[in-house]
Structure 1
């Protein structure tokens, strides 16, 4: 009787597990397209925030290459989108990382012209302190817009620092580490973009491949 009961209970548990797994799989299959659409819209929204749509005529989110280089702040792959006008790459929109935020990595998206001028910057992910470090978000303050139309002249451009360090960018009251990290990361990203602009502009299209595999 005991063995029979154990077998019966085991069969019930197995059946329950199979049904649950099947249900989860079905939910994932049904929701995956919706999630993909939302991610696409979010990406397009960010791309449009850092670079005006009027500046390019290609589908920006479908034209990219992927770079893995610690100069961009981490050893993780970073996507570089190419903005084109009549086929010519007129700007790069680059993912990069500020590894020295107050609460860890700060992920960035920066649009950069060939001469080192920044079109715009957005923080895409961070864990900074609410009310202090989160002022990097445009809904919290307009600080992130202070990068627009600024140019990095060279690697030794001392203007690219917070004012506390003798630079031109404001720091936050009670929070200097976060803006310092973002300024440094954007500067490094601009320098990298200038040094590798032609290489990145002419690299194979990774986004087109990813799209065709979906």
Structure 2
């Protein structure tokens, strides 16, 4: 009788486990597509913020390569999106990281033309102090827009610094470290893009449908 009851309970538990596992799998399959669509929309939104959609005619998020370079930051890999017009790469949209923010890493997305002119910049992730360092966000201030249409002339271009250091970019009241970190990293990213533009433009596409990253 006891053995029979144990077997019955075991069968119930097994069935429950199978049903639960199946339900979780179905939920994951059902939500995975929605999550992927949402992530795609967020990525497209960011790409459009740094580079006007009218500037290119390809699916920007589906045309990229991955690079590892100390000029871009400490991460093992960064994504570089290629904006094309009639097949020609007219701009690069590059990920980078400022490792010297006041509260740690600051992730950045920069759109750069071949001549070193910046189309736009956005901070995509940071842990900077609310009310001070978070002014890198466009909803907090217009500061991030000050990069648009600015050009890095060369590695010694002293204009690419905050005004406190003799440059042309404003610092934040009570927070100089954050803008200094962003300006320096964007400058390094632009220089890297210029030096490697042709190589990055011709690299194998890592973001095409079916491509392995």
- TM exceeding 0.5: yes
Counterpart check, 1:40 vs 2:36: no
Deviation digits for residues 43-67 of structure 1 (CA, Å, limit 9, x no counterpart): 1111111111111111111111111
- The change in CA–CA distance for 1:82 and 1:2 in structure 2 (over 3 A counts) is same
- The change in CA–CA distance for 1:198 and 1:29 in structure 2 (over 3 A counts) is same
Counterpart check, 1:165 vs 2:180: no
- 2:73 alignment partner in structure 1: 73
More helix, by proportion: 1
- 1:142 alignment partner in structure 2: 142
- The change in CA–CA distance for 1:63 and 1:151 in structure 2 (over 3 A counts) is same
Give the match's secondary structure for 2:98: strand
Counterpart check, 1:117 vs 2:117: yes
- The change in CA–CA distance for 1:21 and 1:133 in structure 2 (over 3 A counts) is farther
In the alignment, structure 1 segments of 5+ residues that lack a partner are none
- 1:212 alignment partner in structure 2: 210
How far is the alpha carbon of 1:5 from its aligned partner? Answer: 8.4
How far is the alpha carbon of 1:3 from its aligned partner? Answer: 9.2
Deviation digits for residues 106-152 of structure 1 (CA, Å, limit 9, x no counterpart): 11110000010000001111111111111111111110000000111
Give the match's secondary structure for 1:204: coil
How far is the alpha carbon of 1:76 from its aligned partner? Answer: 2.3
- 1:104 alignment partner in structure 2: 104
How far is the alpha carbon of 1:15 from its aligned partner? Answer: 5.2
CA RMSD for the aligned pairs? 2.1
In the alignment, structure 2 segments of 5+ residues that lack a partner are none
d(CA) in 2 for partners of 1:67, 1:127: 25
Counterpart check, 1:127 vs 2:133: no
- The change in CA–CA distance for 1:94 and 1:17 in structure 2 (over 3 A counts) is same
TM-score (norm 1): 0.91
- The change in CA–CA distance for 1:185 and 1:13 in structure 2 (over 3 A counts) is farther
How far is the alpha carbon of 1:103 from its aligned partner? Answer: 1.3
Instruction: Tell me how many residue pairs correspond in the alignment.
Output: 212
